[in-house]
Chains A and B, each alone.
Chain A
């Protein structure tokens, strides 16, 4: 399978899960990776630095209108929704969705609207129901959806919500996702 854009959503338990997942992303990964991790609004948040520790690609918080290019992991900044708007990112301070800004649904829905079937969306651990509607939209537009196996999630409610809604094309464990990512680099199989 070939995707032009990978979007990931995580909530409680997401830091450890994302670190495992990102450790699988090879340096020559062919698509931009965009991540919403639910977070509080805090100017001095160390989240990007923490995620950087196991990731071969630079982890950055995009600025408004920054280009959506491979070679980086883009992390939604605190206090903003992160949207995909064609070839670039857009930020917004629209009201929180499911009590969250950034929200996973907002990212997933905008990615689906602008990149359609080229989107791969992954929903990981969390207590929220954020992300389920977004996965549905990704599927509607022909994209592919993967949900973390709830039995392996630190907080199973969010992936369970995706599975229950019938919007998961595949249910995988984190290390299986990481392995798939690794295989997409030139070093892969």
Chain B
């Protein structure tokens, strides 16, 4: 598929909506565009662009396909286990703490963190800022209602992550859905923030940005790393996805790994 046609499409989207996908990783984006072409039954990228600019619903579907919102509660349980063991004690040393969960998607990761903080006695004086550029997922995140069918897997994750209570105490089951206790997120602020275009808005004691930057190209990754670095206090902690790394980013030397296995790094400079 023609690279040129794709960059023209991305320019047009930026122009029309202000949403900037021009520096997203191309292999994934190409795949999504090809899938949209098939679903919309158009013969090429240019035809897809033409339809999207003419038909707002088509544009909406295309934009939605660019936002991959896959997530789970306590995804990579080892990460949360280490967060509990190594980061919670650090957080305890501050009288008040702020955590930023970047690209929080439909909220599963936020509720996981909220449960962990509550069990560690850290909930009271911790504010979580949970952001995403996708308005629809933020609405779902606020509601905290997840499919009941997933609770078995999430309970296993929770236990592997070092959970101390009974996972089922955190939700009520009704009509095939698990509704999580709204009190868990009373200190959470859900807000829109676009990593590609928005600036730093606070400084944080810990930032989680997991499986978001894998969708960005190198240049955008580097820029986002600068943004995250700016937004962390000295000795603050950065958490990345399981297969992400700081190696080869301009900020590698600013951090030290908190442990060798999980993706937790401490800002030293």
A43, A62, A95, A113: the one within 8 Å of B30 (CB): A113
Contacts of B244 in A (CB 8 A): 63-64
Chain A: residues with Cβ within 8 Å of the partner, total of 24
From B1, B30, B31, B245, give the contact of A64 (CB < 8 A): B245
Q: Count how many pairs of residues, one from A and one from B, have CB atoms less than 8 Å apart in the complex.
A: 62
Q: Is the CB of A65 within 8 A of B221?
A: yes
Are B28 and A83 in contact, with the CB atoms below 8 A? yes
Size bracket, chain B contacts: 20 to 34
B162 at interface, CB cutoff 8 A: no
Of A64, A90, A95, which contacts B70 at CB under 8 A? A95
Contacts A64-B243, A64-B245 known; A93 to B221 CB distance under 8 Å?
no
Instruction: Kindly state the separation between the CA atoms of A94 and B28 in the bound complex, as whole angstroms.
Output: 9
Q: Are B215 and A92 in contact (CB under 8 A)?
A: yes
Question: Which residues of chain B are near A85, meaning CB under 8 Å?
Answer: 25-28
Is B76 interfacial (CB-CB < 8 Å)?
Answer: yes
For residue A114, CB closer than 8 A to chain B, the reply is yes
- Known contacts: A77-B243, A80-B243, A91-B214. The answer to whether A113 contacts B27 by CB under 8 A is yes
Q: Which residue numbers of A lie inside 8 Å of B, CB to CB?
A: 43, 61-65, 77, 79-80, 83-86, 90-95, 106, 109-110, 113-114
Interface residues of B (CB under 8 A from A): 1, 25-28, 30-32, 68, 70, 76-78, 211, 213-215, 218, 221, 241-245, 247-248
A-B contact pairs, 6 of them (CB 8 A): A62-B243, A63-B245, A91-B214, A94-B70, A113-B1, A113-B30
